[in-house]
Amino acid sequence: MTMTTRTRTLKTVQVKVPSGEIRMQGILALPEAAKGLVMFAHGSGSSRLSPRNQYVAGQLNSAGFATLLFDLLTDQEEKVDDATGELRFNCNLLARRLSDATGWIKTHTAATGLPIGYFGASTGAAAALLSAATRPGDVKAVVSRGGRPDLATEALPLVQAPTLLIVGGLDDVVIDLNRKALAKLTCEKELSIVPGATHLFEEPGTLERAAELSRAWFAKYLE
């Protein structure tokens, strides 16, 4: 599907991203003359169809960034996770699949050569940081929204990509966890607290602010 957004033409493609024996369902959005690619690692109970992630992706597309939203778990795994919750916190598994997706997208004709960034939410933020730590040459920037970077504790000092941690001002427990994670990061880093936002950024204007911060971070480090 091809559509025009403001002054840019946007092409969206349904893709199947390989990781070992599985194929992960994804949506690759490619604006005309893209200047970078942002890969999304969603959190627990979310998917490539998450309205919040799709909104942020749309804002990035409008700013000239390609995006890849994909499901880190298969449909069958999602059913298991819905019942047990055991996979959403398996950050090593999620990171491995994100890393596999990164290797795959680098060979995709339309995205070859684009600088890559990660956008992670909730437990997906830990997966993004774990993957970034193992692919320092590939990942140029990381943004975490309402993330759990504390779940990537041992890898934090190894992350080289400039990292922005965005947290809701009313998300007290997660603010504390992010502050502790920030102290362990040795890369270019920043913690941004969005006033009036809870964990899911559902309050009016808060998701928009998170998208603005993300867009500015990627514009700084992916161009």
* Model pLDDT for residues 104-162, shown as the tens digit of each residue: 999 877 788 899 999 999 999 999 999 999 999 999 999 999 999 999 999 999 999 99
Q: Which two tokens stand for residue 33?
A: 């003359």
Q: Give CA–CA dist 136/134, Å, rounded.
A: 6
- The pLDDT tens digits for 21-44 are 999 999 999 999 999 999 999 876
Q: Which two tokens stand for residue 217?
A: 């971070």
Q: How far is CA 84 from the centre of its chain?
A: 24
Q: How far is CA 143 from the centre of its chain?
A: 7
- Determine if the pTM surpasses 0.85: yes
Please report the domains of the chain, with CATH numbers, ordered by start residue: 2-221 (3.40.50.1820)
Q: Which two tokens stand for residue 29?
A: 């959005």
- The pLDDT tens digits for 171-182 are 999 999 999 999
Check pLDDT > 70 for residue 81: no
Check pLDDT > 80 for residue 197: yes
Check pLDDT > 80 for residue 3: no
**DSSP conformational letter for 64:** T
Q: What is the pLDDT of residue 112?
A: 84
End-to-end, the C-alpha distance of the chain in Å comes to: 26
In the chain, where do the E strands start and end?
Answer: 2-5, 8-19, 22-31, 36-41, 65-70, 116-121, 139-145, 163-168, 189-194
Q: Give CA–CA dist 176/167, Å, rounded.
A: 10
Backbone angles phi, psi at 117, to 5 degrees: -125, 160
Q: Are 171 and 191 in contact (CB under 8 A)?
A: no
What is the band of 6 on the pLDDT scale with cuts at 50, 70, 90? very low
Across 47-61, 85-99, 111-125, 130-144, least confident range: 85-99
**DSSP conformational letter for 160:** -
